[in-house]
Amino acid sequence: MKNWDIEDFGTDSLFAETIKLAKIGIYELNVATNQIYWSDVTRDITEVPDDFVPSLDNLASFFNEGHYRDMARDAMQNAIAKGESYDLDMEVVTAKGNIRYVRNVGNPKMENGVCVKLFGFLQDITERKRTKIELTKKIQQLNLAEQLAQIGYWEWDIVADNILWSDNLYRIFGLEIGTPIHFERVIEAIHPDDRKEFRENAQEFIAEKRFRKFMHRIVHKDGSIRTVELIGELIMNPQGEVIKMIGTTQDITEQRMSEIKFRGLLDSAPDTMVIVDRNGIIQLINKQAEKMFGYKSSELIDKHVTVLVPNRLWDTMEYYAVNFFKAPKHTGLPADLDFFVHNKSGFQIPVQVTLSPLETSEGLLVSIALRDITVQKQAAHRILETNKSLRESAKRLKAQNRQLEEFNQITSHNLRSPVSNLSALLDIYKTESDSETKEMIIEKIESVTNHLTWTLDTLVESLLIKKSSQQALEKCHFDKTLERTKEMLAAEILKNEAVITSDFSEAPTVMYNKVYLESIFINLISNSLKYKAKDRTPEIVVQSKMIDGTVQLEFRDNGSGINLKKNGHKLFGFSKVFHRNDDAKGVGLFIIKAQVDAMGGKIWAKSEEGKGTSFFINL
């Protein structure tokens, strides 16, 4: 079949090999005979059987009816009739019914203005076509993703100042897709207040060869303002010069708005709020926190929360943090925890702590609410203090009450009885006619008046003792005091042949009111002499001891003794006497009790009737 021009290339030729490898199929139409030649590759592409003979009549079956069939027919007719070449990308249907994409190129061979032959070749481009479709799909998806995420992509050729934007970035900026973009055009779209920073950032990134995430606002034609965030990186040439900047711009207006809302909410909280992540790194603090801690927000963010807590409480804090993350829920730390934070100057503030979980896109955070409880603590402290002083007052009041009761007793008995006597005497005086009796009544009135005067004097004395409890203390030597007492009672001692011995070795001295101490000695020793046993000579022992840091005096006698069961309650009362004794005025013990009380001491007695009495005094 030498009539096929194409066969002239020779089947063994380099060309034939090449076109075979490139999967290029050849065809030839002899216009005069209407005979068609298909090369092996053409037969492969069309998947025809070996015995298939292509002809003008069966060509149409390789094209789906419609667009591609018309396209193929028109191209052939034009080539034959007008000698026009063609180069088409088209779909073919193989003999086995598969769809393939081919590049179909045709060249008419003209002789004397008439087309005699049509040479053409087919290239199977199905793979390429598929890839392209795939790519288109991918780009569409990317576009969609960009739109959904409100992200746009940009590429800035710094040298040429040419900026490439993705479609969505145009949408974000509210500009028509395809508008040529350069640096100043971008600046124009930026909010006037943010332009300076944008320029400075761009310069800084280029100078430092490092991109830093930042935000700016843009103003749309309609005046609406959007906030965007930029992330990018720098591309350098082999010389290390920055030639390109690429990155994304995300519209974070909604995010920003909710962040602003959250911030507002946070700042309007009455408590100090510190938001930390699982590792204890501070993410966010509110205005109250700045106030409480004296740090700026920027000084605390990204720091560990321990900077706010005294070392001694770190373990406590860790314990509650671990528990919290085990089961994150709103947790109030115990009110009696005694937790403190310290501020920038190291001052410690007592706080009530509440932990709350905060779910965020960056993971679980813990929101720590702190309430300054200094005032409550102070109040509690004041209450404690007040309680203490109340207890002391109550104690003092009780003591005063006891004194008042004593006075009530005294006025009831010791003042009222002479007064009632006087009144009775005067009544009798009025009705009495006998002048001798009248004289006697006057004498009695005098006696009552004297008694009354004495009672009042004694009372005044005891009042003075109570009032002057802050008397100057002096160092008193017991042996000297006893010596003076003996001198003062010399006559009584001699008369009763009393034996007075003493032992002050354990505590020879005491810091005391000298007058009171002498009063104690005189009263107790003279009592012992007065109430001596009738059948034996008085023996009196005076002894000082040191008991638990307190000096104790004991006056022990072998006198008649007192029935303390019966009379103990009135032993130290005013004008209480327990003996039928002319000298008994019952005021000595009352006075020394007042003196011992005034000095903060204690006096008590032990006694056995018929054996003797011991008085003990804690000075």
Partner 1 sequence: MIMKPVNVFVVDDDDIYQFTIKVTLRSIPAVQSTSTFADGAEALEYIVVHQNEEDKLPDIIFLDINMPVMDGFQFMEEFVELLPSLQKSIKVYMVSSSMDPKDIKKAKRFEEISDYLIKPLNSKDIKEIIAKL
| Distances in whole angstroms, Cα of residue 396 to Cα of each of 18, 393, 401, 618 | 124, 5, 8, 20
Q: Kindly state the smallest distance separating residue 591's Cβ from partner 1, in Å.
A: 18
Q: Kindly state the smallest distance separating residue 567's Cβ from partner 1, in Å.
A: 9
Question: Which pair of tokens denotes residue 297?
Answer: 């927000």
Q: How many CB atoms lie within 10 A of CB 331?
A: 15
Residue indicated by tokens 């004194």: 403
Question: Which pair of tokens denotes residue 500?
Answer: 């007075």
- Judged by beta carbon, residue 550 or residue 581, the one nearer partner 1 is 581
- Judged by beta carbon, residue 425 or residue 529, the one nearer partner 1 is 425
Question: Which pair of tokens denotes residue 123?
Answer: 């290239």
Q: Identify any residues that bridge with 38 across adjacent strands, giving them in sequence order.
A: 27
φ/ψ of 275, rounded to 5, equals: -105, 120
What's the one-letter identity of residue 584? Answer: A
- Judged by beta carbon, residue 71 or residue 415, the one nearer partner 1 is 415
Q: How many CB atoms lie within 10 A of CB 350?
A: 17
Q: Kindly state the smallest distance separating residue 605's Cβ from partner 1, in Å.
A: 17
Q: Kindly state the smallest distance separating residue 416's Cβ from partner 1, in Å.
A: 4
Strands (E), 45-96: 86-93
For residue 42, give every residue at least 6 positions away whose Cβ sits within 8 Å of its Cβ, in sequence order, or none: 25, 26, 27, 121, 122
Q: Kindly state the smallest distance separating residue 404's Cβ from partner 1, in Å.
A: 12
> Closest Cα to residue 305, out of 336, 332, 274, 334?
274
Q: Kindly state the smallest distance separating residue 423's Cβ from partner 1, in Å.
A: 5
- Judged by beta carbon, residue 477 or residue 579, the one nearer partner 1 is 579
Residue indicated by tokens 């937790």: 339
- Judged by beta carbon, residue 46 or residue 575, the one nearer partner 1 is 575
> Closest Cα to residue 499, out of 556, 553, 581, 560?
556
Q: Kindly state the smallest distance separating residue 454's Cβ from partner 1, in Å.
A: 14
Q: Kindly state the smallest distance separating residue 585's Cβ from partner 1, in Å.
A: 11
- Judged by beta carbon, residue 424 or residue 463, the one nearer partner 1 is 424
Q: How many CB atoms lie within 10 A of CB 143?
A: 14
∠ Cα 469 470 472 (to 5°): 120
- Judged by beta carbon, residue 18 or residue 420, the one nearer partner 1 is 420
Q: Note the residues at the interface with partner 1 (CB under 8 A).
A: 408-409, 412-413, 416-421, 423-425, 427-428, 431-432, 444, 447-448, 566, 570, 575-580, 584, 586
> Closest Cα to residue 573, out of 556, 558, 594, 553?
594
Q: Kindly state the smallest distance separating residue 604's Cβ from partner 1, in Å.
A: 21
∠ Cα 535 538 539 (to 5°): 130
- Judged by beta carbon, residue 444 or residue 545, the one nearer partner 1 is 444
∠ Cα 506 507 510 (to 5°): 175
- Judged by beta carbon, residue 109 or residue 413, the one nearer partner 1 is 413
